[in-house]
Structures are given as C-alpha cells and as structure tokens.
Amino acid sequence: MTASQRTNGLEQALDPDGEVVVFIPAGSVDIVGTDDSVVRATARGERSLTEILDVAASERRISLQPRDGGLQVGPLRIGFGGTADVRMEVPRTARVEVRTASADISSNGLRGAQQYSTGSGELRLRVDGGDVAIDAVSGDVDVRSSAPLGLAVRSVSGDVDVEAPTVDELRVSTTSGDVAVDAELGQAGAHRIETISGDVTLTTGTELAVDATTVSGDIEADGRRSGGLGKRTVALGTGTTRLTFSSMSGDLRVRRREAPRSPETERAGAAAPLASEDARPDAVADPAEKARLWVLQALERGDIDVTEALRRIDAIEPSGSSDDASGRPMPPLRYAPRELAAPFDRAGIA
C-alpha cells in the first residue's frame, strides 16, 4: 500500500517492526496501537495534517515534524510553528519515538521499543510491555503496563508513577520529582533509583536487598526504619534481587505489594531542606558539627556530589579535625554532574 494523504490525514502501510517518529512543539500526541500493518494519522482542527507538519512516509519509517524547521536542544526539538493535536494509529509492535516541547503525550496498546522526550508536557502511557525510555523536565510521567517491561526514566521536577506486573529492569532518576513504583522487580535486572530531594515509594512483593546511599534521607522497609548519613544495605526476605538507591535528602519507603495502595500515603511530602541557609557554620559551637555543616551546604549548592560528601564527612573526627590541617573542611570542589540514568542499550534507542 502506498501513502494516501487525505484532506486532513495520512494512511500508510508500515512493517510490523517499522519506525514512527513524531516531533511536535506544542499541542498533543495521542497514539493507539493496533493489529493492522497501517499507520493512520489525523490532525484535529481547521488545518490539515500536511499543512501543519512535514510528512515523510515509507513502509520502513514514517516521520512527522514541523514544516518550518525548529531548534534542537539536547533531546528536544523545538519547532517554531503552531500547535498540532495529532492522533495516530500504529502497529503495536512498531518502534515509536515522540519528542515535544510542551505537547502532552498519551499512548495505548504499544509493546515495541518506545522513546519519549518532553519539556513540560504530561506523559500518560498505557503499554503492553516492551522497553520504554523517557526524558522529561517538568511534566509528570504516568506509566501503566499490562505485561512485563523495561523502563528508564529521567525527570527533573515531574513526578513519576509506574504500575506493572513486573519491571525487568528499572532505572529512574529525578531531581525533585517524587517516584511511585508498584511492580515486581526482575531478579536479573540492574535496578537503580536516584534522586536529589524526591521521595520514593516502592510497592512490591520482590525479595529485595536495597543498597542505599543517603545524606539525610530515611529508608523504611517492612516496618523497619533507618536514617541518616552513609551507606547501608536493607534486606527484605531473602534479598535475592538487588536495588540501588541513592539520594541527598529523599526518603525510600518499601511496602509489600499485597497491601492495598493508599493514595494518601503513596507519595511522601516534600523533603525538608538539607541545610538551611540560616544555619551558618561559624555560628555552630562544636568544631565537628561545624565541619559537617560546611560539607552539607557545599553538597546542597551542588559544589560536590553525594559520594564526595560522604568521604569528607567520614574524614571528620569527633574532635573536629578534617582533611585540612587547619581544622576546617576542604574547600568545595566543582564537578560535572553525571547522568543518572540512560535509555536501554537493548531497547535499540539512542
């Protein structure tokens, strides 16, 4: 079947493992997976799809992007054109990539490899498994899967909410966004959750060993609670599946999956600041506490990372000595923040 461009839409045959790529600056993208080997796309509103977007179509790849070009900023392509509200039907096993600046994204019934990037748009995904990679800035991410999936999410301030029977491999990183995951975790997967101040609620029946590194965050599992600075391992049952958790001030709460989910307790409130700007180190009497406060404030400013903060605090003796012979902690080091998570190599997504 060759491409058919109707008055307000597109109809094009696509191989079951073909690729669909959508770049839209603003508006909305709604994608539905079907058992047909055909892509159908329409635009809502007075303007036709081809008036708004540049359409390139073949049986291997279909792309939609703004006709007037745009600006590529990191993972996002920002167009200079108007808003587009696009609805698409695609083969459910197709590889799908959607990038937007502020457009909301929704999908239903896909199970091929998927990648989504957005600045401020909301993401609502109802998938049937597969590998899903998400980059978001301030938009919330809501993922529900009817089958096991692999998931990699990077977010700045948006919340992340995930529900699935099993997540084979889980990688989530946020700055201030909260994370809620309700799923079993695959025993062979490399599971990792990292936050700066975001809280994490994990509801699972998996026998976990949680390797945690925090500065001021708490770990709560099976009714047991531990908190404060340092590295520690918390085991649930046999601990056959490992989860790595690191945070500056975020909390981790692990709950047994058979317990009913409570919307009131699914996410914890915002964490308190790590070190108040009003708490001046020179106002603290104890030299050791003064040195620790210097380190915590350097961490809060982003001058050092969590690992460096732990190293410096470990070096502070009760008498107040530190790595610096003068008795004051070492001056803050500038560093380049590392990426906390990356899309799956096995997903075939760059």
Residue 275 gets the label, from left (phi > 0), alpha (psi -120 to 50) or beta, of beta
Q: Is residue 154 part of a domain?
A: no
Measured CA to CA, the distance from residue 159 to residue 136 in angstroms comes to 10
Kindly tell me the number of DSSP H helices and DSSP E strands found in the chain.
3, 27
193-251 pLDDT, tens digit each: 999 999 999 999 999 999 998 888 888 887 666 656 678 888 888 889 999 999 988 99
Provide the token pair at 216: 């001021």
Pair type for strands 76-79 and 149-155 = unpaired
Q: Is residue 290 part of a domain?
A: no
Q: Compute CA distances 338 → 134, 305, 335, 341, whole Å.
A: 17, 9, 9, 9
pLDDT at 76: 52
Helix, strand or coil for residue 100?
strand
Structural domain that includes position 75? 1-127
Inter-helix orientation angle 287-301/306-314, to 10° = 170
103-147 pLDDT, tens digit each: 999 999 999 999 999 999 999 999 999 999 999 999 999 999 999
Q: Compute CA distances 86 → 10, 28, 247, 314, whole Å.
A: 11, 6, 38, 55
Q: Is residue 35 part of a domain?
A: yes
Q: Is residue 85 part of a domain?
A: yes
Residue 121 gets the label, from left (phi > 0), alpha (psi -120 to 50) or beta, of beta
Point out the residues of the chain with pLDDT beneath 70: 1-8, 68-82, 223-229, 258-290, 292-293, 295-302, 305-307, 309-310, 313-314, 316-350
pLDDT at 332: 38
Q: Is residue 305 part of a domain?
A: no
pLDDT at 305: 66
Q: E-strand spans in 189-314?
A: 191-195, 200-204, 208-214, 218-221, 224-227, 230-235, 241-247, 252-256
pLDDT at 349: 34
Pair type for strands 53-57 and 241-247 = unpaired
pLDDT at 293: 65
Residue 84 burial class via C-beta count within 10 angstroms: exposed 0-12, middle 13-18, buried 19 and up? buried
Helix, strand or coil for residue 70?
strand
In this structure, are residues 91 and 36 in contact, taking their beta carbons and an 8 Å threshold? yes
pLDDT at 288: 66
Q: Is residue 342 part of a domain?
A: no
Measured CA to CA, the distance from residue 39 to residue 15 in angstroms comes to 10
Q: Is residue 36 part of a domain?
A: yes
Provide the token pair at 208: 């976990």
pLDDT at 326: 36
Residue type for 320, please?
Answer: G
pLDDT at 238: 84
Q: Is residue 95 part of a domain?
A: yes
Measured CA to CA, the distance from residue 346 to residue 113 in angstroms comes to 9
Provide the token pair at 281: 């180190």
Q: Domains in the chain: how many in total?
A: 1
Helix, strand or coil for residue 345?
coil
pLDDT at 302: 63
Which residues lie below 8 Å from residue 237, measured CB to CB, with a gap of 6+? 207, 208
